[in-house]
Structure 1
Amino acid sequence: MGTLAWIAVVVFVTAYVLIATEKINRVAVALGGAAVMLAVGATDAEHAFFSEEAGIDWNVVFLLLGMMLIVGVLKRTGLFEYVAIWAAKKARGRPFPIMVILIVVTGVVSAALDNVTTVLLVAPVTLLVCDRLGVPPIPFLIAEVLASNIGGTATLVGDPPNIIIASRSGLSFNAFLSVLAPFVLVVLVVLVLLCRFMFRQAFRYDAERAAQVMALRERDAIREPRLVVLSLSVLAVVLAAFTLHTVLGLEPSVVALLGGLLLLALSRLDPAEVARDVEWPTLIFFAGLFVMVGGLVATGVIDELARAATDAVGDRMWPATMLLLWASAGLSAIVDNIPYVATMSPIVAEMVDAAGGNDHAQVLWWALALGADLGGNATAVGASANVVVLGIAERAGHKITFWGFTKYGLIVTVISVALAVPYLWLRFFVG
């Protein structure tokens, strides 16, 4: 690696340490790191603002902005309170059953939508449920973001890295469903069991608060029935357009932004008031993070690491599969898994072709998908959904620290990736 590449590594590692230690606000660190990358020439305006491989992923930014606008309107209808009361009553006010409901709902919905959209919809409900029952919301928020990354692994559209892998590999929606969905169901069950152990101190049952919740009527929570119908109609159209985006020729980001702006116009709400609910610091943090990672991509650091791994395993399929799985999990814990997969996918394509390009060689794609998607759970910045939930929690007055998230995410990641080892062996190497 050249001098510039080493400078980019030092800048990224320094920024990452500052984010992890939280000595400086993470948005300021991300913007500062991006500015240094630009100042030293590790990246430039062309790469930072216009490159798909080494710049800000505007599709992610505008997808988030559009969905945040929709959620901002939905918050004013009372629908979140309705769902919160319904979930609490179904669980009879008991915290652990409520967490199980939230994990299952988040995991299943994340397979149909992308995981970021799911946590944007579920997190406000979680905050309301916990407030009603007087329990700390942080364990519930962490549990559902872990569930969203696991559930999103199941389908082609559930996690952005899967979309990138599908476009490079030619694997179909049904292929993702048949290979990954059965494994994801097992991991979700394991997550529920782990949460019962990891967050056991959060499950304080308050009989008085539970009785108050059981006495509530869900329908009384709805403040704007017309706006509920309008919001859900626009959301349904947006979700349908997500699944048909290849037919329509519209990127999910365009669909989300059009849906958000349309709903804002039809709602007759004050746009400035709704805009205040947008997680602007989260969007700015993403932009800075993308520029920093883009500096590593543009200077060839990530490419160098990937090629070294490829040279180390050659054409030995099982070692190659294991290296891809664990290296992807480890690197996706450090850098956002979207730019990582964008960098690795052409290299995996070469490895698959070198191995004959047959069904057996496709295991490398599944190792990449499982490692990147599940590895995103390991740290607070490993996946887009993690960053979004941390932003929502902080705005609600419940700060989740980097290590407060990571100490749980790391346990879940190691166990879920370890479970992928026998699964890939039995599925692709036995018989």
Structure 2
Amino acid sequence: ASLPLIVSNLVNIVSADFFGLGFTEYASVMVPVDIAAIIATLVMLHLFFRKDIPPTYDLALLKAPAKAIKDLATFRTGWIVLILLLVGFFVLEPLGIPVSAIAAVGAVILFAVAKRGHAINTGKVLRGAPWQIVIFSLGMYLVVYGLRNAGLTEYLSGVLNVLADKGLWAATFGTGFLTAFLSSLMNNMPTVLVCALSIDGSTATGVI
């Protein structure tokens, strides 16, 4: 459901930044795609697991929602920050303020509230953050540009040009299968970077 949001994952961030897509523009394109993906997922889940889904369940077996909240102040602040973030993304990003800056402000506010409450071990949160993703990203860029220098993106650009010459459907399905195949070989993140460079180097423009 977070597919229309640029900040939902690193792939979205890199893709939108590479092609110069703003938060609103990206969301407007991806909302219909997101709706289709949600519907397809729910339909398939229902078809496969409909026999395992109980028609009713005993509410008494569920814990009280209040017991799941360790820090009420952080919980309430989180909702406020979430709303302000969405407003900020749509309103401030078109004014030239980076999405990263808006998200950073929200994170700092939420972290400060959590630290003041002492119910959440903020030090442990910082230590447990996946900082290795930064090193991974830097290494990935080196590998991708190495593949470009080796001629991979030039070859893929040629393939994309052939697909584009055959029309919209061939370009759409061909590109989809190509990226799916590459993702199965080397993960989706480097595939996105390789394909972005390949698209940039191809002669295809606009809507085919």
Task: Provide TM-score, normalisation by structure 1.
Answer: 0.38
Gaps of 5+ in 2: none
1:344 to 167, 190, 195: 195
RMSD: 4.1
Q: Does 1:196 align with 2:46?
A: yes
Distance in structure 1 (CA, Å) of the matches to 2:123 and 2:77: 19
Higher relative contact order (CA 8 A, sep 6+): 1
Distance in structure 1 (CA, Å) of the matches to 2:86 and 2:36: 26
Gaps of 5+ in 1: 1-106, 118-148, 150-158, 362-431
Structure 1's 230 and 236: CA in aligned 2 closer, same or farther, altered over 3 A?
same
1:262 alignment partner in structure 2: 109
Q: How does 1:50-199 map to 2 (within 5 A)?
A: 107=1, 109-112=2-5, 114-116=7-9, 159-164=12-17, 166-167=19-20, 173-174=24-25, 177=28, 180-198=30-48
Displacement after TM superposition at 1:191 (Å): 0.9
Show CA shifts across 1:103-160 (max 9, x none). xxxx1x443563349xxxxxxxxxxxxxxxxxxxxxxxxxxxxxxx9xxxxxxxxx32
Q: Does 1:332 align with 2:183?
A: yes
Distance in structure 1 (CA, Å) of the matches to 2:127 and 2:149: 30
1:240 alignment partner in structure 2: 87
Contact 1:164 1:341 in 2 (8 A): no
Distance in structure 2 (CA, Å) of the matches to 1:271 and 1:217: 19
Distance in structure 2 (CA, Å) of the matches to 1:228 and 1:320: 46
Kindly tell me the number of residue pairs found equivalent between the two proteins. Answer: 203
1:276 alignment partner in structure 2: 124
Structure 1's 342 and 304: CA in aligned 2 closer, same or farther, altered over 3 A?
same
Structure 1's 282 and 172: CA in aligned 2 closer, same or farther, altered over 3 A?
closer
Contact 1:309 1:323 in 2 (8 A): no
SS of residue in 2 equivalent to 1:111: coil
Query: What amino acid maps onto 1:189 in structure 2?
Result: I
Q: Does 1:316 align with 2:169?
A: no
SS of residue in 2 equivalent to 1:188: helix
Distance in structure 1 (CA, Å) of the matches to 2:43 and 2:32: 18
Displacement after TM superposition at 1:290 (Å): 2.4
Structure 1's 299 and 162: CA in aligned 2 closer, same or farther, altered over 3 A?
closer
Contact 2:24 2:90 in 1 (8 A): no
Show CA shifts across 1:184-229 (max 9, x none). 423322211222345568646785xx23147x65467656544433
Task: Provide TM-score, normalisation by structure 2.
Answer: 0.68
Show CA shifts across 1:388-427 (max 9, x none). xxxxxxxxxxxxxxxxxxxxxxxxxxxxxxxxxxxxxxxx
Contact 1:297 1:343 in 2 (8 A): yes
Structure 1's 113 and 173: CA in aligned 2 closer, same or farther, altered over 3 A?
closer
Contact 2:5 2:23 in 1 (8 A): no
Query: What amino acid maps onto 1:182 in structure 2?
Result: P
Query: What amino acid maps onto 1:309 in structure 2?
Result: L
1:230 to 72, 77, 82: 77
Displacement after TM superposition at 1:320 (Å): 4.1
